[in-house]
Chain A
Amino acid sequence: MRIARALILLLLMALPAQAERVVAGLSQARVSITTDFSGSEILVFGAVKREAPAPEGADLNVVVTVAGPSEPTTVRRKDRRAGIWVNADMQDIGPAPTFYSVATSAPLSEILSPETDRKHRISIRRAIRGVGVTDNNYIDALIRIREDEGLYQISDRAVTLQQDTLFRAGIALPANLTEGAYATRIFLLRGGDVIDRYDTVIVVRKVGLERALYTLAYDQPLIYGILSLAIAIIAGWAASAVFRYFQP
Chain B
Amino acid sequence: MQIYLPIAEVSVNAFLLLGLGGLVGILSGMFGVGGGFLMTPLMFFIGIPPAVAVATGANQIVASSFSGVLAHLRRRTVDLRMGVVLLIGGLIGAGFGVYIFNLLREMGQVDLLVRLCYVLFLGVIGALMFVESLRALQKSRSGKRPARKKHNWVHGLPLKVRFRTSGLYISVIPPLLVGLLVGVLAAVMGVGGGFIMVPAMIYILGMPTKVVVGTSLFQIIFVTGFTTVLHAATNHTVDMVLAVLMLIGGVVGAQIGTRIGVRMKAEQLRILLALMVLLVCGKLALELLIEPAELYSIGSDG
Contact = CB atoms under 8 A, between A and B. Distances in A.
A49 interface: no
A33 B252 CA distance: 30
Contacts of B205: none
Interface stretch (B5-13, B37-45, B151-159, B182-190): B5-13
Contacts of B232: 217, 221-222, 224-225, 228
A221 B60 CA distance: 18
B107 interface: no
Indicate the size class of the contact surface on chain A.
35 or more
B47 A233 contact: no
Given A74-B300, A237-B70, A229 B62 contact: yes
A149 B62 CA distance: 32
A36 B2 CA distance: 6
A75 B297 contact: yes
Contacts of B238: 217, 224-225, 228
Contacts of B74: 244
**What does DSSP make chain B's interface, helix, strand, loop or mixed?**
helix
Contacts of A236: 62-70, 247, 251, 254
A248 to B, nearest CB: 10
Nearest to B13: A38
Given A36-B1, A233-B62, A239 B251 contact: yes
Interface stretch (B164-172, B173-181, B286-294): B286-294
A71 interface: yes
A36 B290 CA distance: 38
Nearest to A81: B112
Interface string B259-302: 10000000000000000000000000001111110111111111
Interface stretch (A51-59, A107-115, A162-170, A176-184): A176-184
A213 B56 CA distance: 14
A225 B7 CA distance: 13
Contacts of A237: 66-67, 70
A75 B9 contact: no
A86 interface: yes
State the 3 A-B residue pairs at the shortest beta-carbon distance, nearest first.
Answer: A225-B232, A236-B66, A175-B11
Given A74-B302, A236-B65, A240-B71, 19 more contacts: A38-B4, A76-B299, A83-B289, A86-B288, A90-B299, A145-B297, A176-B10, A206-B6, A211-B6, A213-B240, A214-B6, A217-B240, A221-B233, A224-B232, A226-B229, A228-B232, A231-B244, A232-B247, A236-B64
